[in-house]
Every structure is written in C-alpha cells, then in structure tokens.
A and B are shown apart, each in its own frame.
Chain A
Amino acid sequence: MSEEQRLFFNTQGYLVVPDALSIEELAAIRSEADAAEGRWRADLSLPGVRRPDLEQVLGIMEHGPALFDLLEHPRIFPLVRALLGPDVMMLDHDYFITPSGAAIPQGWHFDFDLPGVDHPRSRLMVKVFYALDDIPPDGGATLVLPASHITPGGTTLPNSEVPENLPGAVPMTLPAGSAYLINDRTYHSAGNNRSGIHRRLLIYTYGHKWMRMWDEYRPSTELAARAVTPQRRQLLGLSDPYGPPVAWEET
C-alpha cells in the first residue's frame, strides 16, 4: 500500500482501486458469478435476499474457484492486510445485484456501531466491493460520506430520503473491474438505480480472526477442504482466534 493510499484511507474512510481486475480476470469472475446467479435463481432453497430492490447471492465463494481465489486477490488483498494487520479473517461474502429501477429510501448507515469499542480509533473491518459491470452515475452506485468513519460510536448522521441528496456524498461510479474499499464506520448507502441496467457487485468483508463470522457464512465442508494453506484457513475462521496470526508473504 502506498503512503498516498494509506493516508487517503485513513482520512477519508474509503479507497478506489481502478483496474483492480484485468480483463481476463474480470471475464473469468463474471462467468462464475453468472453461473452462481443462474443456480441461485433456479433453486430457491439457496440462501440470500430476493427483493425488488436487492438480490443477494449469499456466500458467493461457495460458488466457484475464481470466486474463492478472489479472497486473496494480489492487487487488493495486500491492501486489506495492510489496513487490518496479519490477523485478518473473512466475515462475509456476497454477490449483490441491484435491479434496474431499485429505489433505496433512507439507505444511509454505518455497518458497525458496537458498544465498548472506541470506534474512531479502532479498525474492525474493511469491506471490498468489486464492480462487475460499469456503474453509471444513475446506476445505483454506492455512496460514501468521506471522513464519516471518525465519528464516535452512537453518532446519528442525517439520512436523506433520496440517498444521493446527502451533502458531501461521493458516488462510486466506476468502470467494470474496479474495486473500492470502505471501513466499518464509513457512512454509506446504495444509490437509486435509475439506469436501465442491473448493478452487479461482489462484496468481500474482512475483519479480525478474533471476531465471529456471521453463522450463515461459515464455510461448508467442501470449501474448508479447499483451504489448503494456513493463510486460507485463517481467512475462513479455521485457526486459533486468539493465537498468533499466520505469516504472510511480503508483496
């Protein structure tokens, strides 16, 4: 992570990484995401959210090897590790599809507001978004409020009826293959999708290995068996929560 990137994330609470995925990587990942979506639509017993304003294929890493390997993408994961430290672990992972026409009233929120934690000076989580399609300004882009991550726990910030109307909001309008990162206290919202295309994002959320993973994201037996390195096992929550972290290769 460059000093410029670190400074930007520390002060603004988010970071954009253009061209995170090469054209070939994007094609392979999009192909697996499409297959996952097809399975998920055909089998209503598969977990997720099925609403007019959001479709969420839960546990996306379970759906294909490229989606599993994205967990340690060489251009993004070292940034996450630099921000969270060597005890990094995965908390959740999803494929978010925001259909054309989705309305998101009052969507602004913090992901974490946990009692007992000095939030402005702690960093519990880094959430990575990968854009699988171009996201135009009216295409439901994630909105972030820069520097909101330093607000103390319990702070209430304005929540505008139309998320785009919040003063200072910055939309993540990006080309396919881009990635962006936010932290656990960055105030954010999905935008209204007034474009004619679905917004497609992969989300990988990282925390620390002493934190609980959401129960529904605990790795299946099959996924756990494919975690053959100590690093991957730590990322899946299969290592000692309070013991020393694994060693990571310098990048």
Chain B
Amino acid sequence: MSVLSDEQRRFFDASGYLMIPGALSAAELAAVRGAADQAEARWRADPALPGTRIPEFEEIPAIMEYHPTLFDLVEHPAVFPLVRELLGTGIGLVDHAYYITPPGGHIDGTAWHTDVRTRVPGVHHAGSTMMIRAMFALTDIAADGGATLVLPGTHRQPDDTPILPVATPEEMPGAVALTCEAGTAYFFNGNLLHAPSNNRGAVTRRVLLYNYGHKWMRMWRDHEPSLRLAAAAQTSMRRQLLGLTPPYKGPDAELSAGPNE
C-alpha cells in the first residue's frame, strides 16, 4: 500500500518537491530544537569541530552525531516512509547537517545547482532518482527569510541543460520559495535546481537536512558513522541507512523492523 497519496506522487513527479506541513508536532519540534540548540552550543564552543563558519551561512555537518533525537529524526514517520517509497527499499543516507542562515548575508545567483548532476557522474539523471534531500524547518521561514528556492520540473531536464545566469537567486524566473512554518518538512529530488535565498529578514533561519540516496552509494566525506553512532544503530533499517549493510544485495530493511531483531 502506498504511503504517498496520488496527489502527492503526481506533484512530486511533476514538480520535483513536496511540502509536509506540520510534520513535527509542537512537542517534537520543541525536543528537536532543544537537541539542535545543544549541538549548536557545543559546536560554537569548539572550533575544532568540523563545519562551515562564514557570515552568510553556518553548517554543522554530521548532525546525527550530536544527539539521539537528531539521530531518530532520520526515520521520522511523517517523512521517511514517503522518501523511502520514492527512492525504493534500498534507501541509504548520504549526508546530514544543521544549516543556520543568519540575516544579512549575501548570496549571488551562482548558488543555483543540482546536487547530483556534477557530483554523481555516469547516471542519466533526467530519468533517475539518486537522492532526495529532506529538510525540517526549526523556525518559521518567510519569503525574505532565506527560504530554499526551487525551480519546479527541472529534475527531468536533460542533464546538459544550462543554468540561466542570474545576479541573485531570487531573480531566477519561475523560482518558488519554500516558505513555511516551523515544524514543516519539505523534500526534493537531488536533481532539482535549487538555491538558498538571501535572508533579508530579522530571524536566523534554522533547518535540519537529511539527504537520502541508495544504500550502494557512499556517504559524504566525513559522514561515515562514528563507532558510537554505529553502535547506536540497533535496527536493520538504521544500519542500512548508515551504510553498515551489504551495498548491492538484500535483504532490504523493513519499515516495521524493531530493535535487535
């Protein structure tokens, strides 16, 4: 039985993205935000921890390493079953991060890109689905608040289609800003043209990223799980997501698999 409604599937197939309003309950959002705040405080206190620290963008990579709640979010029931249905039962995880976009930065139009066209060679991306990038909004994100921009339908363009040059991301004709309330999730095909927009609001934008692929794809550099995280992966699904199961053969993990089965 499909976990995606016909409308959701049609929209994702045609547009390349999907919004899930209210993905996190108020209680879940509070717990996730608390965990993210702890991670951020630890990361700020220790500049030796990896990440991006530039005025317009801060990134804490491998965010699942920081807190069990952030690890559990990788299988959130409002999002993960949908992404799994779109990618297939051999789903894996490619990377995961916490993105913080302070107000006042400047992002130019070269920020438009797809995640897979240049990084995953050998694949005909217009006919394939190699990655789905899921984001959880931890703050309300207004149109001028650094919302992710997407160009609907571009995931099925021929792989050599040039990207229209624009001065700022917001100037791309046809761009849709994924504005949303805190607790919303959205995900998009890794071949969809997308860009961050400039945060001209007053609120720092905070989103968690979980980028899914196939279990036979390598994880992003420096995202291979620590021994501690690997030990915390107590289900076959969690092990599969962390790349701890054979890459090219089954069985694939079931959604309902319990701990230590």
Taking the complex as formed, is B73 at the interface, i.e. its CB lies under 8 A from any CB of chain A? no
Q: Is A212's CB under 8 angstroms from B243's CB?
A: yes
Which of A85, A112, A115 has the most chain B CB within a 10 Å cutoff? A115
CB-based contact A124/B247 at 8 Å: no
> Interface residue tally of chain B, by bracket?
20 to 34
A208 contacts chain B at the CB level, 8 A cutoff: yes
Interface presence of A107 (CB below 8 A):
no
A237 to B79, CA, bound (A): 32
- The interface on chain A, measured as residues whose beta carbon lies within 8 A of the other chain's beta carbons, has a size of 27
**Known interface pairs A116-B88, A116-B130, A214-B247. Does A241 touch B220 (Cβ–Cβ under 8 Å)?**
yes
Query: What would 17 more interface pairs be, CB under 8 Å, given A85-B122, A211-B216?
Result: A84-B122, A114-B214, A114-B216, A115-B87, A115-B89, A118-B123, A118-B128, A122-B128, A207-B122, A212-B215, A212-B218, A212-B247, A214-B248, A215-B246, A241-B218, A241-B220, A242-B221
Q: What residues of chain A lie closer than 8 Å to B119, measured between beta carbons?
A: 210, 242
A94 at the interface (CB under 8 A from B): no
Query: A87 an interface residue at 8 Å Cβ cutoff?
Result: yes
Query: Does A6 interact with chain B (Cβ within 8 Å)?
Result: no
A117's closest neighbor in chain B, by CB?
A: B128
B interface residues with partner A (beta carbon < 8 Å) = 87-90, 119-124, 126-130, 214-221, 243, 246-248
Quick check: is A51 within 8 A (CB to CB) of the other chain?
A: no
Q: Which residue of B lies closest to A212 (CB)?
A: B247
Which B residues lie within 8 Å of A210 (CB)? 119-121, 217-218
| Chain A contact residues, CB within 8 Å of chain B | 84-85, 87, 112, 114-118, 121-124, 207-215, 237, 240-243
Nearest Cβ distance between residue B91 and chain A, in whole angstroms?
9
A114 touches B121 (CB 8 A): no
| Interface contact tally, CB-CB below 8 A | 76
Residue pair A116, B214 in contact (C-beta under 8 Å): yes
A-B contact pairs, 7 of them (CB 8 A): A116-B128, A117-B130, A121-B124, A211-B216, A240-B221, A241-B219, A242-B218
- The interface residues of chain A lying within 8 Å CB-to-CB of B129 are 116
Task: Write the nearest CB–CB distance from B261 to chain A, whole angstroms.
Answer: 21
Q: CA separation between A122 and B219, bound complex, in Å?
A: 21
Which of B88, B121, B214, B219 is A208 in contact with, Cβ under 8 Å?
B121
A124 and B123 form a contact (CB under 8 A): yes
Bound-state CA distance A192–B121 (Å) is: 37
A208 and B247 alpha carbons, distance in the complex (Å)? 14
- Establish whether residues A116 and B124, one from each chain, have CB atoms under 8 Å apart when the complex forms: no
The answer on a CB contact under 8 Å between B122 and A208 is yes
Contacting residues, chain A, for B215 (C-beta < 8 A): 212
In the complex formed, the residue of A with least CB distance to B131 is A116
- Return chain B residues, CB-CB under 8 Å to A118: 123-124, 126-128
Q: Which residue of A lies closest to B215 (CB)?
A: A212
The smallest C-beta distance from B153 to any residue of chain A, in angstroms, reads 17
- The residue of chain A having its C-beta at the shortest distance from the C-beta of B88 within the complex is A115
